[in-house]
Amino acid sequence: MAGICEGRSVIVTGAGRGIGREHALEFARQGAQVVVNDLGGDVDGSGSSQTPAQEVVDQIRKAGGEAIVNDDNVCDFEGAGRMVESAIDTFGGLDVLVCNAGILRDRMLVNMSEAEWDSVMAVHLKGTFAPARHAAGYWRQRSKDGKAVDGRIITTSSASGLFGNSGQTNYAAAKAGIAAFTIVAAKELERYGVSVNGIAPGARTRMTAPLGFGGEEREAGSFDAAAPDNIAPLVVWLGSAEARTVTGRIFEVMGGRIGVANGWTRGPDANQEGRWDPAELGPVVEELVRQAAEPETIFAPR
């Protein structure tokens, strides 16, 4: 039986380990041809190695699938272009781009260095923009040429970006930016036959395990809700032909739970149909805050 992504060409960035690795493997199981992109760096973005990406490619090929390695840096604009070209040249086109690559440089704001800020912004924000820009250009040209387009971009935000988390002003700001990028890109690219969605995943990876995420004891053989392979089914579905009408959404996903994040919503307001005097605003703002819902937190119960 053919998989739901049979014959589709997919790029997954940061696919050598963790969540990205599971995306690549599941896309291949569902019939896709996969560009496994990974710089092979450490959690903080330093270093490089082709080994992680090559191991994923070898596993896909051993199972009878098609995959190639790409080790371009996602935040190198020209490198991102080469990544997209590698899919087109090898597999005859590009259908899906999954922007998954990321690093951590956690620090409290008062101690954060400029380099820690800049590196996180580069990998997450520019590392989403650069490949998406090249993929969007490819799909726009196909659309202008009268060719069929059924493209997908799937971005990776975070609960930290949606709700905030202490010690992560850089990471949370980047992930919030990715959520906004997703919503705007969806509006812009729909005319070309491209949908854009994002995920805010929760899983045990080399980035989250040191923070204690998913380290709880569980019974042998029981469902591991923190396993990174739980994230892939939603991402693969979003990359399939079935998902063409879903766009501009951010999904929270962890274990067996999938939810839609509603993002910023308008709350109570006050309008006196004229300019406010600053001296009047104390009780007005206090009343608006009293009426407003409490902000969601990263650890809010479901």
Catalytic residues: 158, 171, 175
Per-residue tokens: 212: 């204690």
One-letter amino acid for residue 204 of the chain: R
Give per-residue burial for 229-259: e unless 16+ CB within 10 Å, then b: ebbbbbbbbbbbeebeebbbbbbbbbeeeee
The span from the CA of 50 to the CA of 67, in Å, is 14
User: Which residues neighbour 282 within 8 Å (Cβ) at sequence distance 6 or greater?
Assistant: none
The span from the CA of 10 to the CA of 103, in Å, is 22
Q: For the CA atoms of 140, 145, 150, 153, what is the dihedral angle to 10 degrees?
A: -20
One-letter amino acid for residue 286 of the chain: E
